[in-house]
Structure 1
Amino acid sequence: MLNSATDTAEHTKNQKFFDRCARPLGLRVEQLSVPADQVASKALRMASSHSLTDILELDGSELPQFAETGGLRPLAELAVTTSGFSRGAVSLGSYRGTRYGIARAVNSLALYYDPDKLEKAGVGPPRTWRELRTAARKLTGGGSYGLAFSASPDADGVYQFLPFFWSAGGNEARLDGGEDGGGGGGRAALRLWKELVDDGSVSKAVVNWNQQDVNDQFVAGRAAMMINGPWQVPALEAQRKVDWAVASLPVPHRGTAAVAPIGGTVMTVPGSGDEGRRRNAAKILTCLNSPSNQLAWSEAVNNVPSRTAAARRYAGQNPKLAPFADLVTTARSRTARVGTRWPAVSDALAGAFQTVLTGRGSPETALRRAQRQATGGE
């Protein structure tokens, strides 16, 4: 298996699950782990030399480029089922309606907050954008901002912008609206981010912060709330400086659902190699995605099971993280609408919010330019 489990603890946890599934079959799984941003290029090099591993674990956003070349076997041909999985999890591993990858756990974003600071300010966890802006203002002061998020010009910033963009109706296939609509949602999301910065409730430095920087600000007491994912839980549990809780993401208006990006990796079976090895790989994937294994793995890495029943059980056993389990039910794949165009769309979105937050353009002009960039017009 080629994956990105370079962290010693994650690598070791992975191996325990692989061994659990492989030993009854008389098999052994060997992990070849490289940094996450090198998995795709490593896989392409290995494929060109006909040495690709039996299982390839990719970030969900990278799956389309491999599926488009015909280099992956459809799960249906391997008798690997995703029945009972959340719609977002299925979409994460699909390309043009065909399932190629299976996610045993997924993640998304939510609103973390310091209960003590909110209580002192007399505010509750904000549920709407209006409440978010009001609460952020009241929570700002004494060396602490009301809210922190990542607006870096890369995948981190785009991942954090998408919940605002999508929840307002933004359309990644037509960033400026056009005939498909969605421009109003994009403009509203950009205006909200700009208003929070102009209010002084969010640091101007967010244009340089990745998601780890955001968590560092929160832990240091320099932000009362933050947008972040469940991967920050180990760091939060390891510190004693601030208390923390998790709430759902604020939405434009009451009664609307938060739409966040679904994140995580998907395990795929390359089309090359021996048919017998492919069948064995399929058996490993089926075992790894049993309800009990999904639940155990999710608890080990603070993610949410992709099976809806297992996700409900996870929420019951981990009430502090229950908002993440709720959010992944409406979460969307970044590549579902645009497929292999996602990298260009992502870069264009990053350029749009960087332009607006640094005062170099309005939401309208930034989105028009983003659409030209995303479609190769600039």
Structure 2
Amino acid sequence: MRSATKSARAIAVSGAAVLALTACSPGQGGSAGGQSSDTYTWWDPYPQHQKSSGWAKRVAKCGDEAGVTIERTAYDTTALTNQALLAAQEGTAPDIMLLDNPAVSTLADTGMLTTMKEFGLDTSGIDANLLSAGVVDGKEYGVPVGANTLALYYNKDVLDAAGVDPASVEDWDSLTAALEKVTGAGKKGITFAGIGTEEGSFQFLPWFWGAGADLRDLDSPQAREALELWTGWRNKGYAPASVINNSQNTTWEEFLTGDFGFAVNGTWQVDSAKEAKFATGVVQIPGKDGGVAPTPTGGEFITAPVQKDTGRYDVTHKIVRCMTTPEGMVETAKTFAYYIPPTKAGQDRLLEDEPDLKPWVDAVRSAKGRTGDNLGTDYPKISEPLWTAVQKSLSGAEKPKEALAEAQSTAKGEVG
């Protein structure tokens, strides 16, 4: 999950109404229907990457290697999911489709995606924690082309002035103690995105999971501990009032002012952090009692929609293979600057060229898919009540216990 131009992708998808939306990027278009034998259709959620971009050239190159032309169409993530649902109804799916990982289960539920076993793609090298976002009822419906996740960025100048060693942040107590020192030194403690959208759930999940909570039990004692942590920071002034409305983008803008000790944000800010006017660093989000908290994975899966002409799968397989070799995944990582390859081989190759990315590789290796634990299409029905509870608690409208009890009741009614 990313911010800035990609923040709209953070909205969780559901299989509700199918909207006939068109959001092709300039200079790109075409229909998934009526494919010719030398042209293969490709949909992805990157409209910001125009035909002349490194990404577009990378896609075209994989087509060239397979001996065909790729006709690429780019949509905003939400529009892509809606368009895919429409294509499922009309039988006009593209040959290849990249989906934001929580959407994979939604599209698999329609029957429009081949399983990777049916498609003949070996997934044994993909990290299981990353692959899980595309697994429904034990079947794999795609593979990640890369992953991003969350960690704690810190302002070294602010921490030095407050006498805080970032290495001392090992659990919730030590992090809270660091925030107390930073605010005591006249600076601001931590900023995060508590907005009432999927971005809010995305940022809360490391603390929720780090307490040992389960998404099917939103009002457990562990869940309450996580929400009490965030709410306590807000009430003590360790986190600003703005977190209630902060997106991940506005959170980052706050951090770049140089006033904050810490910010929860993602891999996609690596380049921006290098350009900051102060020295920055990264530490993992700690679990309540120590260790690294599981963080949610963002990033897209490459999928192969079902085709009436199954003879097309051979070439599609070549294109997908081009994208998912260790070399191919490193090339994708470098093209986007914030993707971590989903295989150990790819990660190791990336670190040979970019050793500073090790904290992010470590974070991705311990990350967890939001639709994992076989939540599938139930995840959006759980996520919205969760972010609503976070909003109510941070705003003071309800105590954490009451807010989460209401969230659990709502989610149980939706999921059944």
Which category of TM-score, normalised to the shorter sequence, fits these structures?
over 0.9
Per the alignment, in what secondary structure is the counterpart of residue 322 of structure 1? Answer: helix
* Pick aligned residue for 1:160 from 203, 214, 221: 203
Alpha-carbon RMSD: 1.9
Report the CA distance between 1:128 and its aligned residue: 1.2
Report the CA distance between 1:16 and its aligned residue: 2.3
Q: Does 1:86 align with 2:122?
A: no
For 2:52 and 2:175, the matched residues in 1 are separated by 38
* Pick aligned residue for 1:341 from 370, 375, 378: 378
What pairs up with 1:25-174 in 2 under 5 angstroms? 25-125=66-166, 126-140=169-183, 144-174=187-217
* Pick aligned residue for 1:332 from 344, 352, 368: 368
For 1:264 and 1:279, the matched residues in 2 are separated by 26
Report the CA distance between 1:102 and its aligned residue: 1.0
Superimposed CA distance per residue, residues 259-288 of structure 1 (whole angstroms, 9 cap, x where no aligned partner): 111111101111134212232212211111
State the partner residue of 1:235: 272
Q: Answer whether contact 2:50 2:56 (CA < 8 A) is retained.
A: no
Q: Does 1:250 align with 2:286?
A: yes
For 1:35 and 1:168, the matched residues in 2 are separated by 34
For 1:19 and 1:367, the matched residues in 2 are separated by 48
State the partner residue of 1:319: 355
For 1:273 and 1:201, the matched residues in 2 are separated by 57
For 1:9 and 1:132, the matched residues in 2 are separated by 42
Q: Answer whether contact 1:137 1:200 (CA < 8 A) is retained.
A: no
Go from structure 1 to structure 2 and tell me whether the alpha carbon gap of 1:149 and 1:9 turns closer, same or farther (over 3 Å shift): farther
For 2:353 and 2:51, the matched residues in 1 are separated by 22
Report the CA distance between 1:253 and its aligned residue: 1.4
Q: Answer whether contact 1:54 1:273 (CA < 8 A) is retained.
A: no
State the partner residue of 1:292: 327
Go from structure 1 to structure 2 and tell me whether the alpha carbon gap of 1:269 and 1:377 turns closer, same or farther (over 3 Å shift): closer
For 1:314 and 1:189, the matched residues in 2 are separated by 34
State the partner residue of 2:23: none
State the partner residue of 2:18: none
Superimposed CA distance per residue, residues 76-123 of structure 1 (whole angstroms, 9 cap, x where no aligned partner): 111111121111221022111101111121011011011111111111
Go from structure 1 to structure 2 and tell me whether the alpha carbon gap of 1:261 and 1:317 turns closer, same or farther (over 3 Å shift): same
State the partner residue of 2:253: 216
Report the CA distance between 1:316 and its aligned residue: 4.6
Go from structure 1 to structure 2 and tell me whether the alpha carbon gap of 1:295 and 1:141 turns closer, same or farther (over 3 Å shift): same
Pick which of 57-66 and 40-49 moved more: 40-49
Structure 1 segments of 4 or more deviating over 6 A? none
Per the alignment, in what secondary structure is the counterpart of residue 190 of structure 2? Answer: strand
Go from structure 1 to structure 2 and tell me whether the alpha carbon gap of 1:284 and 1:93 turns closer, same or farther (over 3 Å shift): same
State the partner residue of 1:203: 240
Superimposed CA distance per residue, residues 187-245 of structure 1 (whole angstroms, 9 cap, x where no aligned partner): 110011011111101001101000000110011123221010011223333x3422211
Superimposed CA distance per residue, residues 321-353 of structure 1 (whole angstroms, 9 cap, x where no aligned partner): 211111211211111232111111010110111
Q: Structure 1 length normalisation: TM-score?
A: 0.93
Pick which of 7-16 and 132-141 moved more: 7-16
Report the CA distance between 1:37 and its aligned residue: 2.0
Q: Does 1:280 align with 2:323?
A: no
Go from structure 1 to structure 2 and tell me whether the alpha carbon gap of 1:259 and 1:233 turns closer, same or farther (over 3 Å shift): same
For 1:130 and 1:163, the matched residues in 2 are separated by 15
Q: Answer whether contact 1:56 1:267 (CA < 8 A) is retained.
A: yes
For 1:363 and 1:61, the matched residues in 2 are separated by 26
* Pick aligned residue for 1:270 from 290, 298, 305: 305
For 1:320 and 1:147, the matched residues in 2 are separated by 23
Superimposed CA distance per residue, residues 11-35 of structure 1 (whole angstroms, 9 cap, x where no aligned partner): 7222222233221221121211011
Pick which of 107-116 and 321-330 moved more: 321-330
Quick one: which amino acid aligns to residue 167 of structure 1? Answer: G
Report the CA distance between 1:300 and its aligned residue: 2.5
State the partner residue of 1:189: 226
State the partner residue of 2:218: 175
For 2:228 and 2:51, the matched residues in 1 are separated by 39
State the partner residue of 1:180: none
For 1:377 and 1:16, the matched residues in 2 are separated by 43
How many pairs are equivalent? Answer: 370
Quick one: which amino acid aligns to residue 258 of structure 1? Answer: A
Percent identical residues: 31
State the partner residue of 1:361: 398
Pick which of 326-335 and 10-19 moved more: 10-19
Quick one: which amino acid aligns to residue 174 of structure 2? Answer: E
Per the alignment, in what secondary structure is the counterpart of residue 31 of structure 1? Answer: strand
Report the CA distance between 1:293 and its aligned residue: 1.1
Report the CA distance between 1:377 and its aligned residue: 6.6
* Pick aligned residue for 2:344 from 283, 308, 311: 308
